[in-house]
Amino acid sequence: MILDLRSIKGQRERVRRTFPGDTLSQGGGDQYRVVDTATLDLDIRKDGGKYRVVGRLEATLELGCCRCLESLPLVVGVDVDLLFLPVSDNTGEGDFQIEESDLGTAFYRDDQIDLAQLIHEQFQLALPMKPLCRDDCRGLCPVCGGNRNTTTCQCVERWEDPRLAVLKSLKSE
């Protein structure tokens, strides 16, 4: 998961790696799961201590629908374009000037780039704010918890607006 920058001898190097999904698991609070493998195909250009990393990250993710919690697949293809600077230049003056202001800038330390971290950050950017299994997902019944896309429960008919219930109780007093 670590790219050792010392292994890059030339000015330019192609790095292509695949990561099995289970090695990219973040543990309990995962927003997504990587199905099968994630493929990282990078072109790395070395310029002194700067590394321009351009390429593509592809994977199929599995997300939870924000309404019904059912899992849904999301095919992700992200164009990666990052400029890695040594972390020491992040503090103090540093010799580097970041000219391409629209370019994503990242930092590396100890001649290493953590590819797992890079992948997670790119996925985070690619995730929809509110993933939906389908546009008209009907969500879960707030009473019985049943999935309204697949089951028709009777709770719906009994549900009433809590504000209305308050009004009713006021009236009866």
Q: Which x/- pattern over 96-115 shows residues binding Zn ion (rule: CB under 5 A)?
A: --------------------
Q: Which is nearer to Zn ion, 48 or 128 (CB)?
A: 128
Tell me which stretch binds Zn ion (CB under 5 A): 80-88, 111-119, 123-131, 142-150. Answer: 142-150
* 144 binding Zn ion? (CB under 5 A): yes
* 127 binding Zn ion? (CB under 5 A): no
Please, which residues bridge with residue 42 across strands?
15, 55
* 63 binding Zn ion? (CB under 5 A): no
* 59 binding Zn ion? (CB under 5 A): no
Which position among 42, 68, 85, 118 is part of the footprint of Zn ion (CB under 5 A)? 68
Judging by beta carbons within 10 Å of its beta carbon (0-12, 13-18, 19+), is residue 89 exposed, middle or buried? middle
Locus of tokens 């950017």: 125
Tell me which stretch binds Zn ion (CB under 5 A): 29-37, 41-49, 63-71, 106-114. Answer: 63-71
* Rounded CA separation 71/61 (Å): 10
Q: Is 168 helix (H, G, I), strand (E, B) or coil?
A: helix
Q: For residue 119, what are the CA distances in angstroms to 13, 75, 107, 108?
A: 19, 14, 14, 14
Name, in order, each residue with C-beta under 8 angstroms of 44's C-beta and a sequence gap of 6 or more. 8, 12, 13, 14, 15, 51, 52, 53, 54
Q: Under a CB-based contact definition with an 8 Å cutoff, are residues 31 and 63 in contact?
A: yes
Q: Which is nearer to Zn ion, 82 or 137 (CB)?
A: 137
* 148 binding Zn ion? (CB under 5 A): no
Q: Which is nearer to Zn ion, 21 or 146 (CB)?
A: 146
Task: Please give the residue ranges that form the binding site for Zn ion (CB under 5 A).
Answer: 65, 67-68, 133, 137, 141, 143-144, 146, 153, 155
